[in-house]
């Protein structure tokens, strides 16, 4: 079990009815227990599944859903109809349920026992029609849900359940997520801003401002000995030039001050119970440099981060970090920096001034100090330098379209960069799918940010489940995308969200 998920449960509720007699329900109960135990024992599921019994009436469904809402450990409900569970009995319960829902279309028995099958067997293995009846009422209620189809022992089925579990866990994490902003949006930037009230209504993120003057009260409380210890840790963890350890140099002083900034920000975030934060390079208080090293290291610890006041990406970085607990390739805040035109092999250099998470590094990060001429402090600045792993990943962003939040997801392929001897920052080089021209074009048509939340570990299916739970728009730019079809999708979504006032 993944440690961050060990206090979570997903409830499994079996739909039944008493038409087939009490004995049938007892048998179904036995099947359900065996299925849930089997799924838990598979080792494929990151969150424990807890069987909550058969629901045989409207009252029983309602009671289970109310209990799910009120149980802090329960992050979602899986339903399965072993047989006909008349769906009118699910109406009130489904209206009540405010947690993520998965409908698992499966069956206890795998293959039909052709020679033995009789009516008793049929009465115990009727998901084929029972799950359609349930599907109707969820569709009729417009209830967001994930439908997973497959035998419960099948690895592919379990993988889809696992993805949904991770997303449901990240959803639970986002419902009490505090995002702290040190400074506002960088001057006049539109795309990284948006309606913070709507973000809390739709996504759970609570976005608050912390004046840098308040942050400085934490700065004043950081003890020198703590800073010394952290600097020693840096030197242990990262490759670095030997002279950086010379206490008489400016390089050492910059590293020391960067460590003090990290301790300052961390103390403030901990005191407030925040899970994500943003900075602004024009609003630095007593910091002698942009706290880029702090942002890099805090991201690696699980704090969401967004540059220049980008609270939406900060929150998403935390969300994707939480989703991918125990996975190994990493995630980061990222920014489209510079284009490399090379025909079909055209790519985008991804970086930031400094703030890329070392979780995605291909090699041991190197601690370096170099002059940085951006922002109010134009001064040598500490940072971790590395290039990212190669391979496929997913970039995502949320933009505020005025009447709704739009999640934009792009599959990307990270490729080997050439050396960047005069650009000592962390970076990645990727080709957006299906190619640079269509990938970047579609992202721009959708109004996507220059910032994104990037992960190697998750796929677009995670974001699809997230958008379903949040009930927000999602567009996915992938190997099959064409500009003309993508434009049609954007136009149709515009009408859909205009007509569905409840979603806007």
Residues of this chain that bind Mn ion (CB under 5 A)? 307-308, 335
Cα separation of the two ends of the chain: 38
Cα–Cα distance measured from residue 410 to residue 392, given in angstroms and rounded to the nearest whole number: 11
Q: Note the Cα 469 to chain centre separation in Å.
A: 12
Which of 100, 292 has the CB closer to Mn ion?
Answer: 292
Cα–Cα distance measured from residue 381 to residue 355, given in angstroms and rounded to the nearest whole number: 12
Cα–Cα distance measured from residue 205 to residue 276, given in angstroms and rounded to the nearest whole number: 10
Which of 279, 347 has the CB closer to Mn ion?
Answer: 279
Residue nearest to Mn ion (CB): 307
Both tokens assigned to 369: 């100090």
Q: Give the DSSP H or E segment for 70.
A: helix 58-70
The CA distances from residue 211 to 80, 208, 284, 315, 443, in Å, are 50, 10, 10, 19, 34
Which of 355, 464 has the CB closer to Mn ion?
Answer: 355
Which of 9, 335 has the CB closer to Mn ion?
Answer: 335
Which of 126, 185 has the CB closer to Mn ion?
Answer: 185
Which of 108, 281 has the CB closer to Mn ion?
Answer: 281
Kindly state the smallest distance separating residue 12's Cβ from Mn ion, in Å. Answer: 44
Kindly state the smallest distance separating residue 183's Cβ from Mn ion, in Å. Answer: 13
What's the Rg (C-alpha) of the chain? Answer: 25
CB distance 443 to 481 below 8 Å: no
Kindly state the smallest distance separating residue 307's Cβ from Mn ion, in Å. Answer: 4
Select from 73, 77, 75, 45 the least CA-distant residue to 64.
77
Which of 9, 308 has the CB closer to Mn ion?
Answer: 308
CA atoms within 13 A on the CB side of 84: 7
Cα–Cα distance measured from residue 114 to residue 500, given in angstroms and rounded to the nearest whole number: 48
Kindly state the smallest distance separating residue 78's Cβ from Mn ion, in Å. Answer: 40
Which of 262, 335 has the CB closer to Mn ion?
Answer: 335
Kindly state the smallest distance separating residue 468's Cβ from Mn ion, in Å. Answer: 29
Please report where in the chains the tokens 């290039």 appear, as a residue.
Answer: 387
**What single string gives the DSSP state of each residue in 277-306?**
EE--TT--TT-SS--HHHHHHHHHHT-EEE
Kindly state the smallest distance separating residue 477's Cβ from Mn ion, in Å. Answer: 21
Kindly state the smallest distance separating residue 426's Cβ from Mn ion, in Å. Answer: 13
Kindly state the smallest distance separating residue 304's Cβ from Mn ion, in Å. Answer: 15
């Amino acid at each position: 079990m993944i440690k961050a998920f060990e206090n979570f449960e997903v409830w499994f509720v079996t739909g039944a009815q008493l038409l087939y007699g009490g004995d049938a329900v007892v048998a179904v109960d036995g099947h359900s227990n065996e299925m849930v135990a089997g799924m838990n024992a598979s080792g494929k599921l990151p969150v424990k599944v807890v069987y909550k019994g058969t629901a045989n009436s409207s009252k029983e469904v309602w009671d289970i859903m109310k209990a799910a809402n009120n149980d802090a450990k329960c992050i979602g409900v899986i339903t399965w109809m072993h047989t006909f569970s008349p769906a009118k009995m699910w109406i009130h319960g489904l209206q009540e349920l405010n947690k993520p829902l998965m409908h698992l279309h499966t069956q206890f028995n795998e293959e039909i026992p052709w020679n033995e099958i009789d009516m008793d067997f049929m009465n115990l293995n009727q998901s084929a029609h029972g799950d359609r009846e349930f599907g109707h009422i969820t569709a009729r209620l417009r209830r967001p849900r994930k439908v997973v189809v497959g035998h419960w022992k099948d690895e592919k089925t379990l993988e889809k359940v696992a993805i949904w579990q991770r997303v449901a866990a990240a959803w639970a994490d986002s419902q009490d997520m505090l995002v702290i902003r040190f400074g506002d949006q960088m001057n006049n930037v539109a795309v990284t801003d948006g309606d913070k009230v709507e973000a809390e209504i739709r996504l759970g993120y609570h976005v608050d401002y912390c004046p840098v003057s308040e942050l400085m009260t934490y700065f004043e409380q950081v003890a020198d000995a703590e800073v010394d210890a952290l600097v020693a840790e840096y030197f242990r963890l990262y490759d670095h030039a030997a002279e950086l350890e010379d206490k008489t140099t400016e390089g050492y002083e910059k590293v020391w001050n960067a460590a003090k900034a990290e301790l300052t920000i961390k103390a403030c975030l901990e005191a407030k119970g925040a899970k994500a934060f943003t900075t602004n390079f024009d609003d630095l208080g007593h910091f002698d440099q942009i706290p880029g090293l702090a942002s890099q290291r805090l991201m690696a610890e699980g704090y969401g981060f967004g540059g220049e006041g980008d609270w939406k990406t900060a929150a998403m970085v935390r969300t994707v970090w939480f989703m991918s607990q125990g996975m190994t390739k990493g995630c980061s805040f990222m920014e489209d920096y510079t284009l490399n035109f090379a025909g079909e092999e055209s790519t985008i250099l991804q970086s930031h001034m400094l703030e890329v998470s070392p979780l995605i590094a291909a090699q041991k990060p190197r601690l370096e100090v170099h002059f940085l001429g951006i922002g109010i402090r134009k001064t040598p600045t500490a940072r971790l330098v590395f290039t990212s792993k190669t391979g496929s990943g997913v970039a995502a962003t949320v933009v505020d379209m005025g009447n709704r939040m739009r999640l934009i997801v792009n599959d990307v392929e990270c490729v080997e960069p050439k050396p960047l001897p005069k650009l000592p920052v962390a970076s990645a080089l990727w080709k957006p799918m299906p190619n640079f021209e269509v990938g970047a074009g579609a992202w721009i048509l959708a109004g996507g940010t220059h910032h994104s939340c990037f992960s190697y570990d998750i796929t677009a299916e995670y974001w699809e489940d997230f958008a379903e739970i949040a009930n927000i728009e999602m567009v996915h730019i992938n190997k099959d995308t064409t500009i003309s079809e993508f434009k049609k999708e954007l136009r149709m979504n515009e009408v859909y969200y205009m007509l569905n006032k409840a979603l806007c």
